[in-house]
Amino acid sequence: MMEERTVGRIKNMAIKITIVEDNAAVRTSMINILEGAPDCECVSAFSSGEEALLKIPKFKPHVVLMDISLPSMNGVECVRQLAKVMELPQILMLTVHEDPDSIFNSLAAGAAGYLLKPVRAAKLLAAVKDVYAGGAPMTGEIARMLVEAFQKKPSNSTPDDELTPREDEILVLLAEGLSNKEIADKVKISYDTVRAHLRHVYEKLHVRGRTEAVKKYLTSPKSVTMKMRGETP
């Protein structure tokens, strides 16, 4: 039986979050974690992809926590279908699957970040805030698996225009899940300079944002090879 649960109280300027998770205990735990944070509001929770697909457009959350292994319509398919009916919110996949194909399919569908379950409260809240701010949170395990999967997957896809060495460097760090601020700190440039570089990257790759840029760039044989060798482009 499908379940919809509307939760939370009105919080001014809070991040609005929807949970899609079929495990009732896990769902309740995440609701409690989010509602305990002053800057987060859980506006709805669903136990099935079908119900989420119908109701999420009404709630218009900023962030969706989506379990991959939902019964019937899985999380990846739910994301694909949501993209057809609304501008996607930031979607953070929660998964126990250490499977590069599932992760790649989620990324291709429009997900912005990934975490392996079980996730501690502090890490979950940090990931929600990161993805809301435009980051791409993921565990180190998943970042490594993504790179390995792209290394094994032959592709003829290449960027339409050549990226500069600095743009290559920033895009590799983006693929590892670093936020704009973390990239700025790592390469010792300003936050605004990182944003300017990313705007140029998006234009050159003919993409609309971080997720599409990472997907397109990582399928470039040159970029994957350099990343795996640990070289600076």
pLDDT tens string 103-118: 777 877 888 888 888 8
The architecture (CATH level 2) of 4-139 comes to 3-Layer(aba) Sandwich (3.40)
Tens of pLDDT, residue by residue over 146-203, are 666 655 655 554 554 577 888 888 888 887 778 888 899 999 999 889 988 888 888 8
- The ranges assigned to domains in the chain are 4-139, 154-229
The pLDDT of residue 49 is above 80: yes
Distance CA 51, CA 192 (A): 40
Percentage above 90 pLDDT, the chain:
38
Tens of pLDDT, residue by residue over 120-145, are 999 999 999 989 988 888 766 666 76
The architecture (CATH level 2) of 154-229 comes to Orthogonal Bundle (1.10)
pTM of structure: 0.64
Strand residues in 24-119 grouped as ranges (E)? 40-46, 63-67, 90-95, 113-116
3-state secondary structure (DSSP) of residue 76 = helix
